[in-house]
Chain A
């Protein structure tokens, strides 16, 4: 028996939506093998990883807290990816956004005003955009590769954070710990459910998803973005301005990453710390692809990905498994997704 891949006459539309499901199932299967090899009961481990963390209201709230930044960033990235603009530097844009928004909170320390949070959100978005503007300028002006520039700027952004948190932004009463002051109440995201950490950031993410859906499928600029990604020559035939679209894609993805950053520091963290994100900016790349670059799909894949973070923590506590399991699951998911995507264009033939 020989398995052969045979090209399909037309790419399968069903498979586009089936492939993420296949990938999730394969990931679970491979995960069970991994748990077995680690010497634990696979079913118990899966339960600890995927079920237990969300068996309480508090757990579900945590899930949505973690999903919010992933969804926000992934929506921005997926708009860029559709236009063939490969912003890999969302982590850096998130960091700069957190500094802009968080900086505003510290500058207006103990100002009691309802306008502070909106102003911080805007500042954070703006900060992410500024950081994404550098690759945009380099790409449109000098034709540099945005994959490299945006990725390298991530490390620059993290170092800026590190400098500021060890210097100007350090809490004067903080015994020299590299942390800022705790934000005062009017600089914190309003909570959705008292007693949990769930804040309005998740609603903002849902709102942005719906807005993005309208934009991509109903608006002319969204249409232009899809055309430029699918067939650049057709876009130039139609008179769409490619440079403008590159700018646009990077501003959107930088802006949403910056927004996610300020939501993190004004939400669950409540201050500026040396490590703001556990790699949300990179994980969001997987979220975007798993969600098929579709805003609604991204909501689901963002929640799923958030679960791998929670599951890692939970498995560490209850099963004594290393926290690296989270990264392994994320990696397997992307790996199996890319593999299953082959089935969109090919079918398996058995001889």
Chain B
């Protein structure tokens, strides 16, 4: 076997104005190796990859490509060397076909060489079925990712970089992606695989490089590690799993959706179709699903940010609320945690105190005759900061100055202190460091134990299986009937997420599985 590493990094260092993103990082990727790059958000994974792909320039350090010292000054140079990258966020045009999208992304040389045949050859060889004439907006996220992968493979890369490829896939799609990656690896293609999903890394990767706060912590063989030991290396401390007592005695239904349909306002949004569900006091209901299947619409309709429903299609605490806005729903005891923290859950350019006022003024009575009660608001904000372990220099700090995890803890604290009886949260731990994620999950569990009804919309199945009592799946705007967690397996949820046998609520879910 060839012993020259395909890629070797020596002492890569990159500083941003306020952070040391990479500090003296060494990394070696052998031909055919699947190499995991592991770390929490902000550990420096993306910066390192950007340096390899030529998007960023390292302050110091050496990059050796197939034994030769090389300068990668731009993504073009990287592609010419044989480095391909599949980004987490796809760059595809919805209104064009698969083939058109691929042609747009590759050099004219490749196009002239008979691109159709090449697409077919690559997709059959690596198990990436694609229909060249389909329009992108009709495809699932998994299929869209295949376009990106095929587009990369057309350039014959010898190193493929994948940035969190599985975060939007169903378990079945993950499995088929892994088959593809293994085939590539057998053909000698090296893969640099960025993820924080530990089980996957253990399954797939030959080597793992772990980063923490810009520093190289360890290089190890993930097969010899447990997800827990990997997590602890990532975090630098031991991981506490959320705990909860088993509860099957739930209270009265707190929130009821009755045959709710909703036409999406955004183009390429997903219409909601005949959704019914109930969440009882003390219960955590999880809504799983691949992104873009109506989660955003469901969240907005639940929060009242988008109206257009019959009043009786949403009932909370016995009142019909389908046609009233967020604040009227808040005064009935509902609180919301939207997916997007900056710009939706909080105003980036405002201080924490003003952000506390944003959603707290109704229930916390922070206004008097229309005027802000500054002292009371400040007290409420300080209360959130101290009780929810928000690391910040004070309540005047701008929301944008907080890290993702800290801001999310602030937002959760802001909602929970309002003593709600219904909590709706979307992607509560998305992009949040593992420590904060565990904290947030635990506080959701505590809320339910105190009798609140909790509804969590999430793409993270691991998270849902950790905290929920009942689970259902949203697919193309329809909701499967809820199942107790004990009565359904991860595989079954995965199939529902992929659209297998969900036609309407009345269907027996398990028929045909």
**Chain A residues packing against B (C-beta within 8 Å):** 6, 8-11, 218-221, 223, 226-227, 230-231, 233-234, 236-239, 241
Contacts and interface: CB of A to CB of B under 8 A. Distances in A.
B346 interface: yes
B342 to A, nearest CB: 8
A221 B370 contact: yes
Interface in B351-399: 354, 357-359, 361-362, 367, 370-372, 374, 398
Nearest to B350: A230
B401 A237 contact: no
7 contacts: A223-B357, A227-B347, A230-B347, A231-B343, A231-B349, A233-B343, A233-B344
B482 interface: no
B404 interface: no
Contacts of A237: 303, 305, 326, 336, 338, 344-345, 358-359
Nearest to A217: B372
Nearest to B304: A239
Interface in B290-343: 303-305, 325-328, 330, 336, 338, 340, 343
A62 to B, nearest CB: 38
A223 B330 CA distance: 19
Contact of B358 (A9, A219, A227, A241): A227
B348 interface: yes
Contacts of B330: 239
Given A9-B18, A223-B354, A234 B346 contact: yes
B71 interface: no
Given A230-B348, A241-B325, 17 more contacts: A6-B17, A8-B17, A219-B370, A219-B372, A220-B370, A220-B372, A221-B370, A223-B357, A226-B350, A227-B350, A227-B358, A230-B349, A231-B349, A236-B305, A237-B344, A237-B359, A239-B305
Nearest 6 CB-CB pairings of A with B? A239-B326, A239-B327, A233-B344, A231-B347, A9-B18, A9-B17
Given A223-B372, A227-B350, A238 B17 contact: no
B158 to A, nearest CB: 34
A10 B398 contact: yes
B90 to A, nearest CB: 22
Residue from A11, A226, A230, A237 whose CB has the most chain B CB atoms within 10 Å: A237
A9 B16 contact: yes
Contacts of A238: 326-327, 358-359
Contacts of A239: 304-305, 325-328, 330, 362
A231 B359 contact: no
A233 B340 CA distance: 9
Nearest to B368: A220
B401 A10 contact: yes
Contacts of B398: 10
B296 to A, nearest CB: 11
A219 B371 contact: yes
Interface of B: 16-18, 303-305, 325-328, 330, 336, 338, 340, 343-350, 354, 357-359, 361-362, 367, 370-372, 374, 398, 400-401
A31 to B, nearest CB: 34
Contact of A234 (B347, B361, B400, B401): B347
Contacts of B372: 218-220, 223
A168 to B, nearest CB: 42
Contacts of B358: 227, 234, 237-238
Contacts of B361: 220
Contacts of B357: 223
A10, A223, A231 — most chain B CB neighbours (10 Å): A231
Contacts of A231: 343-344, 346-349
Nearest to A6: B17
Nearest to B367: A220
B444 to A, nearest CB: 19
A8 to B, nearest CB: 7
B42 to A, nearest CB: 14
A218 B328 CA distance: 23
Contacts of B18: 9
Nearest to B362: A239
A254 B465 CA distance: 56
A238 B364 CA distance: 14
A334 B398 CA distance: 28
A223 B370 CA distance: 10
Nearest to A8: B17
Contacts of A227: 347, 350, 358
Contacts of A233: 340, 343-344
A10 B17 CA distance: 10
B420 to A, nearest CB: 15
A219 B357 CA distance: 12
B345 A234 contact: yes
Contacts of A221: 370
A236 B303 CA distance: 10
Contact of A10 (B338, B354, B400): B400
Contacts of A226: 350
A212 to B, nearest CB: 14
Chain A CB within 10 Å — which of B326, B347, B359, B372 has the most?
B347
A113 B142 CA distance: 78
Nearest to A347: B17
B366 to A, nearest CB: 9
Most chain A CB neighbours (cut-off 10 Å) among B16, B362, B372: B372
Contacts of B359: 237-238
B476 to A, nearest CB: 25
A218 B370 CA distance: 9
A34 B298 CA distance: 61
